[in-house]
Amino acid sequence: MTPQLDRRSFLKAMGIVTAAAACGGGGAGAPAPATATGAAPTAAAKPSGRISVYSALNESTNNQFVAAFKAATPGVEVDLLPLAAAGELQTRIKAEKASPKADVFIGGDSSFHDGLGKDGLLETYESPAASAVAKESKDPNKNWTGFYFGIFGIVMNTDRVNKEVGGAKPTSWDDLLDPKWKGKLILGSPITTGGGYIFIATQVFRFNKDEAKAMDYMKRFHANVAQYPGTSPQAIQLVSQGQFVAAPNWAHDILTEKVKNPGIDLAIPKGTGYEIGAVSVIKGTKNPVAAKAFVDWVLTKEAGELNVKLSNRVSVRTDVPPAPGAPTLTSVELVNYDRDWAAANKDRLLKLWQQTVGI
Amino acid sequence: MTSLRREPSLLLALLVVTGLVLLFIVYPQVRVVATPGGSGYADFFSGGSWVRPLQNSLSVTALSTTTAVLLGFVYAYAMVYTDMRGKPFFRLVGILPLLSPPFVVAAAYILLFGPRGIITYHVFGQSPNILGLFGIWGVQTIAFFPFSYQLIADVLSRSDARLEQAARNLGAGPWQVFRSVTLPLTRPGLGAAILTTAIYVLEDFGNPALIGGLYTVLPTQAYGLISGFGDLSGAAAVSTILLGLALVIYVAKLRLDGGRQYVTVSGKASSIPRPPVPRWVSWAAFIACSLCALVILLVYGTLVVSALTLAFPTNLGFTTQHFEYVGAHSLSLRNTLVYGLVAATLSGIFAVLAAFLVERGRWRGRRVLDFLLIMPAAVPGLFFGLGYATAFNEQWLDWVDRGALITISMIFWNIPVGYQAAVAGLRQIDRSIDEAATSLGASGLRTFRDVLVPMLGGSVRVGFTTTFVRAVTTLSVVIFLFTTQSTTATITIFQLVGDFNWGGATAFTVADVGMAIIALVVIAVLGRGRVSLGAARG
């Protein structure tokens, strides 16, 4: 599709909207969220046309999510580009900056969105619906808005835990240092997975940024670790198969796997870390009205409930109940996770970790 | 080949080939290499995080290449020289490891041979730690021996049986024939096989990512920098190291070749039967090939069983529900087939033409073109795709179809195998044949088309097959290029794995591999038909 065509269809849409507004407007009955701000002249535009959404959400979540958005927003077509790897999508958006192909980037920890925002590749947008989101869960620079939390936990192979390590669920991260776990633990590689790094950062925050203590922990933990697999889902898969006994990993993904294999279980130690899943609008989008309408919809209660149902993640909205059995930010004891500090010190901490454990 | 000045058509061909190489191989890579900038490189290299992955990459490349080439040679020798049974079966099984979409096959190895593997634990009661160096070594040996097998078999089958018969008639034993006739004749092919295998092992990402564990190699480090951190700059610096290593391997290969040429006159090996090998050699070859085939079939058998069970290995109830994903994602399967076939055809043609221009040419700078044609093998797919996404994503190029761009990336990323095969093939055809054609009045290109190409059939096939299977199985090249309409089977598999849908992923893999095998068989049947037609006409 050429840019001209896009502009033309956009202008046509504008014309229709203007005409509709002249006739009294709002006849569609759908609450036009953008009108709430009432600031920009384009705010009254009804979303239409086509948007391209780069999504790092799970495949099963994607399809129903987009279908629900289209049902709620008639007239907007969504071209979904699913890739459950936020880093690749971030890199792809960087590589495409000469001629952006995406309008919206959804899913993945806010650090992936934040990096793009700092490179000037995101459109600042504060959705009216973001008023329901606590200020800790959205970017002060308005580049991105959080819409879910992912909480870090431990996946365990129940049978092997019962037979080999006494059956008790770990309640603190220090429990994993017991020699009985030797050779039975795995952790998604801190170098190649976001979760692996969040694990290290969590330890640093647990010791009030005393890096020496955190590295001492990582060194003792390393003594029990058999492997650092290359992807997070792989680590869950290996424990599910019984190749290894336990692995720190994402609670929502563990619950998803548990539906398929009841032989695994989830534990959440006290002082755990979490990610904020974000959504953002790409700078240079040819359809800002529809892109923003998508963000508005993602932040609704309805979308929050759907995401919880499909992925077991926790909504940022306090009026959306968690999935049955899923931990929430209030049901677990969180570490004081300093997101900006974790992002700024990532390279340095990883090098320190590599030196500490000698890999 | 006559001089370029006297043959404008030849000059034109050279210009076109060079132009395409510059545009689709060099330019995208320059864009990637230029990404970090001076300070980016300074930061990265002073950081030192690349030292251990570099050491690891070198070790694993040396180990895996050695075993893969040895196994490939045994397999090729068995297929070409012995009269062992079941050759069609072994030929098909030998191609299977090439058809390994990333993630799924290496995962099957863990299911079979992991700490709680079906074979290792449930049969033998052992809990080996297969992740790490030894795991990579084992899996890469199986994964890459088919490359060297194909290249070596192509060369062996063209070595002149008459020379071997003559040697036997003069009283040489089988071992002496092998050592002093067969081996020297296959030297250029062996060199090419070792070089190509080494470079593919070096850039391999999928296997180390799944089996590597603590053992980080350069491609997995680069992937981590992109995937975990979105650090394009650091990742590009790693890619530059890989390119540097490829250059070193290339220079080593030039010295190895040392200008010595071993020439047999024609590719018509069938004119006279090869001298029989001793019975025990046939049997040994049969046993070696059977062991290889057993491991390969176990791995693919695991995939088939996974695809047909509810939740392998915890719930073994039979189901066909996973195959519903195949229907739901038929677009990606169709795209994969179309891109693969188009890319393989064009890549095969281009590789042979380029090999002819380089190998038979006497113009200056052909060594540079030679290196550029081998270089893509050293570029991890991730960077090849990234280079395309960076270089060709411009507003004025928005009319270019993404499917076409993906196909072009597959053509040029896969040039090296077909090109190496064609060069090895050309070296075994005496220049006097070209000269005979030229003195009868044929132009350079005519000689190429009517004399050399028919004799290079095997090399064209190697290029075609390799490009096709790699196009069908690559994830990394397309990951930055695919769109909703131009998605591929490997993307779908990646999605399903990430979605904890192991059953769906294996079902889709079975469908993808099955489709590729059917396509290859159909092409082989059609191809043979055309060859015999051509022969009848001649």
Q: Is residue A239 part of a domain?
A: yes
Distance (Å) from the C-alpha of residue B167 to the closest C-alpha of chain A?
54
Contact B227/A189, CB-based, under 8 Å?
no
Whether residue A100 is found in the same domain as residue A179: no
A265/A167 Cα distance (integer angstroms) = 11
Lowest-confidence segment of A88-102, A318-332, B159-173, B382-396 by average pLDDT: B159-173
B28/B389 Cα distance (integer angstroms) = 8
Task: Give the pLDDT confidence score for residue B187 in this predicted structure.
Answer: 77
Give all strands (DSSP E) within chain A, no chain letters: 49-55, 76-82, 104-109, 122-123, 144-157, 185-186, 225-227, 246-250, 264-267, 274-282, 314-315
CB contact at 8 A, A143 and A113: yes
B152/B196 Cα distance (integer angstroms) = 11
Q: Does B206 touch chain A (CB under 8 A)?
A: no
Q: Is residue A118 part of a domain?
A: yes
**Structure tokens that stand for A12 in this block:** 């046509």
- Residue linked to tokens 């090439």: B98
Task: Give the pLDDT confidence score for residue B103 in this predicted structure.
Answer: 67
Whether residue A117 is found in the same domain as residue A232: no
Distance (Å) from the C-alpha of residue A37 to the closest C-alpha of chain B?
33
Task: Give the pLDDT confidence score for residue A35 in this predicted structure.
Answer: 40
Query: What's the burial of A359, exposed, middle or buried (CB within 10 Å: 0-12/13-18/19+)?
Result: middle
Q: Does B536 touch chain A (CB under 8 A)?
A: no
State the distance between the two ends of chain A, measured CA to CA, in whole angstroms. 48
B350/B353 Cα distance (integer angstroms) = 5
Range of the domain at A101: 3-149+276-315
B169/A224 Cα distance (integer angstroms) = 66
**Structure tokens that stand for A161 in this block:** 């835990």
Q: Is residue B208 part of a domain?
A: yes
Contact B228/A242, CB-based, under 8 Å?
no
**Which carries the bigger pLDDT value, residue B23 or residue B438?**
B23
CB pairs under 8 A between A and B: 161
Query: What is the residue-averaged pLDDT of chain B?
Result: 84
Q: Does B501 touch chain A (CB under 8 A)?
A: yes
3-state secondary structure of A156: strand
**Nearest one of A234, A223, A237 to A185, comparing CA atoms:** A223
Whether residue A31 is found in the same domain as residue A110: yes
**Structure tokens that stand for A192 in this block:** 């190649």
Segment A292-317 mean pLDDT: 95
Q: How many CA atoms lie within 13 A of B501 on its CB side?
A: 23
Q: Does B226 touch chain A (CB under 8 A)?
A: yes
Residue A3 with chain B: CB contacts under 8 Å: 395, 398
Whether residue A8 is found in the same domain as residue A139: yes
Task: Give the pLDDT confidence score for residue B203 in this predicted structure.
Answer: 84
B476/B489 Cα distance (integer angstroms) = 12
Which band of pLDDT confidence, cut at 50, 70 and 90, is reported for residue B467? confident
Segment A108-114 mean pLDDT: 90
Q: Is residue A283 part of a domain?
A: yes
A314/A327 Cα distance (integer angstroms) = 8
Residues 6 or more apart from B264 whose CB is under 8 A from it? Answer: B158, B159, B160, B163, B185, B428, B430
Task: Give the pLDDT confidence score for residue A23 in this predicted structure.
Answer: 43
Q: Is residue B225 part of a domain?
A: yes
**Nearest one of A272, A273, A250 to A326, comparing CA atoms:** A250
Going from the C-alpha of B137 to that of each of A99, B56, B68, B131, B143, the distances in angstroms are 42, 11, 9, 10, 10
Strand duo A104-109 + A122-123: pairing? unpaired
Selected residues 244-303 of chain B with any CB under 8 Å from a CB in chain A:
none
Q: Does B321 touch chain A (CB under 8 A)?
A: no
Which of B49, B394, B480 minimises the CB distance to A351? B49
Range of the domain at B159: 9-537
3-state secondary structure of A277: strand
Residues 6 or more apart from B221 whose CB is under 8 A from it? Answer: A191, B49, B50, B53, B238
B120/B106 Cα distance (integer angstroms) = 16
Task: Give the pLDDT confidence score for residue A19 in this predicted structure.
Answer: 43
Question: For residue range A44-62, what is the model confidence (pLDDT) as tens digits?
Answer: 578 999 999 999 998 878 9
B211/A196 Cα distance (integer angstroms) = 17
Whether residue A13 is found in the same domain as residue A131: yes
Whether residue A233 is found in the same domain as residue A344: yes
Is the model's pLDDT at A133 over the cut of 60? yes
Q: Does B483 touch chain A (CB under 8 A)?
A: yes
Backbone angles phi, psi at A223, to 5 degrees: -65, -25
Segment A111-126 mean pLDDT: 93
Residue type for position A319 = D
Segment B89-112 mean pLDDT: 81
Q: Does B230 touch chain A (CB under 8 A)?
A: yes
Distance (Å) from the C-alpha of residue B464 to the closest C-alpha of chain A?
30
Q: Does B395 touch chain A (CB under 8 A)?
A: yes
Kindly report whether the peptide bond that precedes residue B313 is cis, defined as omega within 30 degrees of 0: yes
Whether residue A281 is found in the same domain as residue A334: no
Q: Is residue B1 part of a domain?
A: no
Q: How many domains does chain A have?
A: 2
Whether residue A212 is found in the same domain as residue A345: yes
Task: Give the pLDDT confidence score for residue B264 in this predicted structure.
Answer: 53
> What does the DSSP 8-state code read for residue B277?
P
Selected residues 51-90 of chain B with any CB under 8 Å from a CB in chain A:
52
Backbone angles phi, psi at A114, to 5 degrees: -60, -40
Which of A116, A236, A243 minimises the CB distance to B110? A243
Chain-centroid distance, C-alpha B18:
22
Which band of pLDDT confidence, cut at 50, 70 and 90, is reported for residue A76? very high
Q: Is residue A325 part of a domain?
A: no
Q: Select the highest-mean-pLDDT range: A294-298, B153-157, B368-372.
A: A294-298
Is the model's pLDDT at A229 over the cut of 90? no
Q: Select the highest-mean-pLDDT range: A34-43, A63-72, B522-531.
A: A63-72
Give me the count of residues in chain A. 359
Task: Give the pLDDT confidence score for residue B463 in this predicted structure.
Answer: 81
Which of B213, B229, B397 minimises the CB distance to A87? B229
Task: Give the pLDDT confidence score for residue A8 in this predicted structure.
Answer: 46
CB contact at 8 A, B262 and B428: yes
Dihedral sign from CA coordinates of A256, A257, A259, A262:
negative
Distance (Å) from the C-alpha of residue B516 to the closest C-alpha of chain A?
24
**Structure tokens that stand for B265 in this block:** 């006159």
Is the model's pLDDT at A12 over the cut of 80? no
Q: Is residue A320 part of a domain?
A: no
Contact A83/B479, CB-based, under 8 Å?
yes
Domain harbouring A350, CATH code? 3.40.190.10
B355/B366 Cα distance (integer angstroms) = 10
Segment B228-242 mean pLDDT: 83
Which of B221, B315, B394 minimises the CB distance to A98? B394
Contact A237/B502, CB-based, under 8 Å?
yes
**Structure tokens that stand for A329 in this block:** 């930010």
Going from the C-alpha of B155 to that of each of A98, A328, B98, the distances in angstroms are 46, 64, 19
Whether residue A136 is found in the same domain as residue A264: no
Domain harbouring B280, CATH code? 1.10.3720.10
B506/B502 Cα distance (integer angstroms) = 6
The percentage of chain B sitting over the pLDDT mark of 90, rounded to a whole number, equals 24
B209/B206 Cα distance (integer angstroms) = 5
Which of B216, B491, B500 minimises the CB distance to A191? B216
| Interior angle at CA B225, CA B222 and CA B228, nearest 5 | 130
Residue A233 with chain B: CB contacts under 8 Å: 497-498, 500
Is the model's pLDDT at A32 over the cut of 50? no
A12/A350 Cα distance (integer angstroms) = 52
Residue A1 with chain B: CB contacts under 8 Å: 398
Contact B480/A95, CB-based, under 8 Å?
yes
Which band of pLDDT confidence, cut at 50, 70 and 90, is reported for residue B185? confident
Beta bridge partners of A145: A138, A279
| Interior angle at CA A129, CA A55 and CA A88, nearest 5 | 15
3-state secondary structure of A267: strand
Contact B479/A101, CB-based, under 8 Å?
no
| Interior angle at CA B151, CA B149 and CA B157, nearest 5 | 90
Segment A310-339 mean pLDDT: 92
Task: Give the pLDDT confidence score for residue A42 in this predicted structure.
Answer: 47
Which band of pLDDT confidence, cut at 50, 70 and 90, is reported for residue B537? very low
Is the model's pLDDT at B293 over the cut of 90? yes
Is the model's pLDDT at A189 over the cut of 80? yes
Residue A244 with chain B: CB contacts under 8 Å: 115
Distance (Å) from the C-alpha of residue B229 to the closest C-alpha of chain A?
6
3-state helix, strand, coil in chain B (%, to 5): 75, 0, 20
B28/B8 Cα distance (integer angstroms) = 29
Contact B227/A192, CB-based, under 8 Å?
yes
Whether residue A190 is found in the same domain as residue A136: no
**Which carries the bigger pLDDT value, residue B206 or residue A127?**
A127
B191/B86 Cα distance (integer angstroms) = 29
Task: Give the pLDDT confidence score for residue B126 in this predicted structure.
Answer: 84
B412/B452 Cα distance (integer angstroms) = 23
Residue type for position A275 = E
Whether residue A190 is found in the same domain as residue A94: no
Residue B52 with chain A: CB contacts under 8 Å: 359
Beta bridge partners of B527: none
Is the model's pLDDT at A34 over the cut of 50? no
Residue B44 CB neighbours (<10 A)? 22
Task: Give the pLDDT confidence score for residue A29 in this predicted structure.
Answer: 39
Segment B350-354 mean pLDDT: 92
**Structure tokens that stand for B428 in this block:** 């075994």
Is the model's pLDDT at B412 over the cut of 90? yes
Task: Give the pLDDT confidence score for residue B437 in this predicted structure.
Answer: 86
Whether residue A159 is found in the same domain as residue A268: yes
Rounded to 10 deg, the angle between the B415-427 and B133-158 helix axes is 40
CB contact at 8 A, B337 and B410: no
Distance (Å) from the C-alpha of residue B389 to the closest C-alpha of chain A?
6
**Which carries the bigger pLDDT value, residue A143 or residue B162?**
A143
Contact B229/A233, CB-based, under 8 Å?
no
CB contact at 8 A, A16 and A289: no
Q: Is residue A324 part of a domain?
A: no
Give all strands (DSSP E) within B245-388, no chain letters: 309-311, 315-318
pTM given for the model: 0.83
Q: Does B221 touch chain A (CB under 8 A)?
A: yes
Residue A52 with chain B: CB contacts under 8 Å: 484
Q: How many domains does chain B have?
A: 1
